Structure formats: structure tokens, C-alpha cells
Chains A and B, each alone.
Chain A
């Protein structure tokens, strides 16, 4: 019996939505971690019952939670009741919420500042984990994208985290600057055909690629044009909102930038715009049909200051041609007086035969389509603002 589990992070807790393969009736569990901001929850492809969650608060900082039973129960890794609180050597345990930038002379280099909003140098300060990306093959390995932008990795099930400092240290780091939402590393894509290849994206620095499992990195922003920065075709400084990759074709990437929807056919070496007939090419999400690598989805948003759909109509746009030619998907979505946003990590797809598409809104609705986007219905409509959404297909 197949089924679907939707992992929803909101401003005030996490919710787990489950259904069978028909995706008609849903069970809603939550709020988990009530009252906390849940920036992201994601399951391990290698063990679907292993979930990781980023729990944070302005008061109490960052917490990492882990589940080994598909979200029924949670624990802070390394701090189970009854476990020793120190190692035999006396070192403290419970380090799962410790994200400390690498400052070692060997690997951290003198990584001291990035640019602040006013262009002045500003020290890196850890704020929160935006995105958790579990390894494709090992349930105990996962990557974390953080604010201020950096990538961390755990290999012990999130008990400890270590920075892959080559990203901040490759040379352009001092020129990165925050977008309005903060200087966050929000996208991590692992190439299923090449375990050494990792893509990340940062607002507002751009996209980066590693071909040696995260040790060294290079910017991959050629072809991006951002009129809102002093040098529109600069090597870095672009506000990339989201990148998507289809596992069958990892060299093809789709990007929703601050403005512009783009595509690369060579692993990010060069990008070209595919915004075509979209009513607005501003937006946050972009995703790909599970079985049709040229079928892609975006949710156009009116502008960089008007974070709601054009004309008050919530429309998902689908291209079956890999971009440029888009059709509005409206059936079941509000077509008047709708002024919600869909944030960058809040769309995902399942891999059932008839591909399901899901997205969450800042109005607290989670919409699902069980027919590739032709029709939509809300699973829930009154959650706190949705920050992220992931889908697990259970078989």
C-alpha cells in the first residue's frame, strides 16, 4: 500500500500530513514543537522514517530535532534521557544545536566578514538553519544550510555539525550580502549520479557548485542578470530564490531568481532565461514533475515588494516544455482576493504514478494536486504561515 507523508514547517510548529495513495483523505498531526519556528523538516531518502527538523526561536536560538519513526516521536540527537551528558573523556555531549563557523587556520582561513545591507563589512553570525538535506544514501549524514550563509554537515545523525568551510573560503565570501530575509543558504541539491557534486544557493550571493564532496566550491552564476545590483552580471550578488533538479537529469537545473526564471543545461555553467509568458517572473518556488523532467512549476508573485499573486489570483504556472511556454493552473485555487505568498522551500512533489504537487502558503493553506497540477484542493487551510513543505512517498 503506497502513501504520502507531507512535512510542513510553519511559524508556530511542524505538522505531518499523511494519506494513502489516493490522496483524498488526510490525517493531520501537530503542532510538533508548538510555538517554535520550524524552518524545515525533511526525511532521509535512505530511511524514510528518519526525519530531521530545524526548530528555532528568536529567544532561544537553534535546535535540531530528529525522528526515527516518521515523525511520531522526536529527540534532540545525543540527548536522550538517561544518556551520559559527557563523553568518557569529559567532553560535553548534546552538541546537536551547535553550529560554529570553522575558524581554523588550516581550513577556515581568515573568514571574517561579508557585506552588510549598507555595503560595510560585517562579521558572520550564526542565526538559524534554513534547510536540511539528508544524504541520498546514509541516514546519519545530512547537510544544513544556515544563516549567515554557510553549509554544515553531520555524519553522526545530527549529534555534531561541522562546516564545509571551502564555500565561504573560496574567495567571493566578502562580497556576499543579505537579501531582505537574511543572508541564508536555502537550497542544497545532491547529484544522485555523482556523490561528489553538490549545488547550493544563497540569498543574495547566488549559486555555487562543489565537485569534490563539498571541499572546494565555485560560483555558477554566468547568464544571470540582476538589474537591482550595481553590476547586473556580476560573479556573485544575485538573489537566487530556489533551484530544482530532476534526479534523472542532474545536469539540468531550473532556477527561480528574485526576478527571472532560468534554466541551465550544463550543471550551472551557463543559465538562460525561460520566463516566457509568465504574468510575473518574480517568485520563490520552482519544482519539477516526478516523471516528466521537462514539466516544471512556479508560482508567480507580483513583485519584490508586493509578495502576493498578481491580480489576487493564486495560480500555479506549469511549463511542459522546460520553460518559456507556461499555462496557468487555477482549478481549485482561489481566483479572487487572494494575497498570500508561497515561500521558497514550500513546494514539493510526490513520486506516485500520477504525480502529486503540493505547496503551502503564508496564509496557512496547504494545497495538493493528485493529477500533476490540473486540479487542486486544500489539505488544511488554517495553519500558521507555512515556511516549508516536503513530501515523502511511502511504498
Chain B
């Protein structure tokens, strides 16, 4: 089971409290996690990555195991600790202040 930590607004949209727990089949990559997330919560389609190009939205970043994985290939394997469920996969929105 893979744990995905979502920003508060996306948890509200998806109607979930806490983190998303997902089963991911096959190789665990960013794409595989986001595919599973969007299949389970289709209301999140388009909010993290583009509907068509599947590119990450500009103000969204991906982190895991204290590393910024935003610029890694979406099809690159994620760290074993994410795949095993030991560490969560973070979807993070840019900080806004002012």
C-alpha cells in the first residue's frame, strides 16, 4: 500500500480525510501513483497534472524521502521506501504569501 500526502484543497475535493492509500500494480513510478490516484479519485484529474499532456502543473511539486522528485522522469522508479509504503509520496503546492 502506497501513501500519498495531498494538499488540503485536494483532500477536500476528493472527500478524504488524512492521506490517500493506494494499491499500485507493477513498477512504482510517479506516473503509476498518479494514475492510481486519479482512477480512485477522478475529481482530481487535471488538478495535479494536465489532462492531455500529463505534465505536472507549474505550482505543484513531488517529494519523497526528503528529495525533490519533481524534475525526475515520471516513469523513473521511485525509492524503494515509497514502493514499500514505508515513506509517503508528497504532492505539494507552492507556498503563497504576501
Would you give the shortest CB distance from A231 to chain B, in whole angstroms?
Answer: 35
Whether, in the assembled complex, A335 has its beta carbon less than 8 Å from a beta carbon of chain B, the answer is no
CA distance A100 to B52 in the complex (A): 8
Give Cα distance in the complex from A107 to B13, angstroms: 34
Contact A98 B42 (CB under 8 A): no
A76 to B10, CA, bound (A): 13
| In the complex, A95 has a CB within 8 A of chain B | yes
Asked if B13 and A85 make an inter-chain contact with CB atoms under 8 angstroms apart, the answer reads no
A25-66 at interface with B (beta carbon < 8 Å): 35-36, 57-63
| CB–CB A76/B47 < 8 A | no
Q: B57, A60: Cβ atoms under 8 Å?
A: yes
Contact A94 B9 (CB under 8 A): no
Interface contact tally, CB-CB below 8 A: 56
Q: Is the CB of B43 within 8 A of A61?
A: no
A97: interface (CB < 8 Å): yes
Scoring A86, A97, A100 by chain B CB atoms within 10 A of each residue's CB, the highest score goes to: A97
Asked if A92 lies at the interface with its beta carbon under 8 angstroms from chain B, I say: yes
Q: How far is the CA of A35 from the CA of B11 in the complex (A)?
A: 13
**Contact B46 A85, beta carbon cutoff 8 Å:** no
Cβ-based interface call for A81 (8 A): yes
Is A377 part of the contact surface with B, judged by Cβ < 8 Å? no
A137 close to B (CB within 8 Å): no
Report B40 CB to chain A, min CB distance, Å. 7
Q: Does B46 lie within 8 Å of A61, measured CB to CB?
A: yes
Query: Which chain A residue shows the least CB distance to B15?
Result: A81
- Complex CA gap A85/B9 in Å reads 21
Select A79's contact among B9, B43, B57, beta carbons within 8 Å.
B43
Question: How distant is A38 from chain B, measured CB to nearest CB, in Å?
Answer: 13
Q: How far is the CB of B98 from chain A (nearest CB, A)?
A: 13
Asked if B7 is at the interface (CB within 8 A of a chain A CB), the reply is yes
> How far is the CB of B15 from the nearest CB of chain A, in Å?
6
Tell me if A329 is interfacial: C-beta within 8 Å of chain B.
no
Give the interface SS of chain A, mostly helix, strand, loop or mixed.
Answer: loop
B39 within 8 A of A: yes
Judged by a CB distance under 8 angstroms, whether A328 is at the interface is no
* Chain A contacts for B13, CB-based, 8 A: 60, 63, 76
What residues on A are CB-neighbors of B10 within 8 Å? 60
| Per-position 1/0 for B1-38, Cβ under 8 A of A | 00000010110010100000000000000000000001
Q: Could you tell me which residues of chain A, from 92 to 106, have a CB within 8 Å of some CB in chain B?
A: 92-95, 97-98, 100
User: In the complex, what residues of A have CB within 8 A of residue B42's CB?
Assistant: 78-79, 85, 92-95
Contact: B51 with A98, CB < 8 Å?
yes
Contact across chains for B45 and A95 when beta carbons are under 8 A apart: yes
Q: Which residue of A lies closest to B92 (CB)?
A: A59
A15 to B93, CA, bound (A): 25
Task: Please tell me if the beta carbons of B45 and A59 are within 8 angstroms of each other in the complex.
Answer: no
Q: For the complex, is B65 an interface residue (Cβ under 8 Å from A)?
A: no
From B9, B38, B43, name the one whose CB has the most chain A CB atoms within 10 angstroms. Answer: B43
Q: Are A92 and B93 in contact (CB under 8 A)?
A: no
Contact present for B47 and A60 (CB under 8 Å): yes
Contacting residues, chain B, for A36 (C-beta < 8 A) = 9
Choice from A59, A62, A76 contacting B60 with Cβ under 8 Å: A59
Q: Which residues of B contact A76 (CB under 8 A)?
A: 13, 43
Q: Give the residues in chain A near B94, CB-CB below 8 Å.
A: 59
Most buried by B among A60, A78, A86, A95: A60
- The answer to whether residues A59 and B59 also contact, given A76-B43, A94-B43 and a CB cut-off of 8 A, is yes
Q: Are A98 and B48 in contact, CB atoms less than 8 angstroms apart?
A: no
The answer to whether A60 and B45 touch across the interface, beta carbons within 8 angstroms, is no
In the complex formed, the residue of A with least CB distance to B49 is: A61
Distance in angstroms from B62 CB to nearest chain A CB is: 14
Contacts of A97 in B (CB 8 A): 43, 45-47
Contacts of B39 in A (CB 8 A): 85-86, 92
State the CA gap A196–B97 with chains docked (Å).
47
Establish whether residues B93 and A59, one from each chain, have CB atoms under 8 Å apart when the complex forms.
yes
Known: A36-B9, A94-B43, A97-B47. A60 touches B93 (CB 8 A): yes
User: A63 to B40, Cβ gap below 8 A?
Assistant: no
- A residues lining the B interface (CB < 8 Å): 35-36, 57-63, 76, 78-79, 81, 85-86, 92-95, 97-98, 100
What 3 A-B pairs are tightest by C-beta distance, nearest first?
Answer: A94-B42, A60-B47, A79-B43
User: Can you list 7 pairs linking A and B with CB atoms under 8 Å apart?
Assistant: A59-B9, A60-B9, A79-B42, A92-B38, A94-B42, A94-B43, A95-B45
Chain B residues with a Cβ under 8 A of chain A: 7, 9-10, 13, 15, 38-40, 42-43, 45-48, 51-52, 57, 59-60, 93-94
